[in-house]
A and B are shown apart, each in its own frame.
Chain A
Amino acid sequence: MSVRLVISWLLVAVLLGYGIIETLITAVKLFE
Chain B
Amino acid sequence: MSLLSALDRQHTVAPAGYSRWLIPPAALSVHLCIGQVYATSVYKNSFVQHFGVSQTAIGIIFSIAIVMLGLSAAIGGTWVEANGPRKAMFVSACFWATGFLVGALGIGTEQLWLVYLGYGVLGGIGLGIGYISPVSTLIKWFPDRPGLATGLAIMGFGGGALIASPLSRQLLSAYDAHYDPNVATSVASGGSLVWLFLTLGIGYFVIMMFGVANIRVPAPGWRPDGWDPSTVAKKPLVTTANVAAANAIKTRSFWLLWIVLFCNVTAGIGILEQASPMIQDFFRDNGVSSVSVAAAGGFVGVLSLFNMAGRFAWSSTSDLIGRKPIYMVYLGVGMVLYALLALTGSTATALFVLLAGVILSFYGGGFATVPAYLRDLFGTYQVGAIHGRLLTAWSAAGVAGPLIVNGFLDAQGKPGTLTASAYRPALFTMVGVLAIGFIANLLIRPVPERYHEPAQTTTPLEKEAAA
Listed in ascending order, the chain A residues whose CB lies under 8 Å from chain B are 1, 4-5, 8-9, 11-12, 15-16, 18-20, 22-24, 26-32
Contacts and interface: CB of A to CB of B under 8 A. Distances in A.
Nearest to B211: A8
Interface string B106-126: 000000000000000000000
Interface residues of B, number: 34
The residue among A11, A23, A27 with the most chain B CB atoms within 10 A of its own CB is A23
Closest 8 CB pairs of A and B: A19-B162, A30-B298, A22-B166, A19-B163, A8-B25, A29-B298, A27-B301, A26-B301
A1 B72 CA distance: 34
Contacts of A11: 25, 29, 207, 210
Nearest to B18: A1
B299 interface: yes
B302 A30 contact: yes
Helix, strand, loop or mixed for chain B's interface?
A: helix
Contacts of A23: 162, 165-166, 301, 304-305
A26 B297 contact: yes
A30 B305 contact: no
A12 B295 CA distance: 29
B292 to A, nearest CB: 8
B19 interface: yes
Contacts of B417: none
Contacts of A24: 301, 305
Given A11-B25, A12-B28, A12-B29, A18 B301 contact: no
B22 A5 contact: yes
B271 to A, nearest CB: 16
22 contacts: A1-B19, A4-B214, A5-B22, A8-B29, A9-B21, A11-B29, A11-B207, A12-B29, A15-B32, A16-B28, A16-B163, A19-B159, A24-B305, A26-B166, A29-B292, A29-B295, A29-B298, A30-B296, A30-B298, A30-B302, A31-B298, A32-B295
Interface in B420-461: none
A4 B168 CA distance: 29
B353 interface: yes
Contacts of B246: none
Nearest to B214: A8
A12 to B, nearest CB: 5
A31 to B, nearest CB: 8
A15 B294 contact: no
Interface in B287-312: 292, 294-302, 304-305
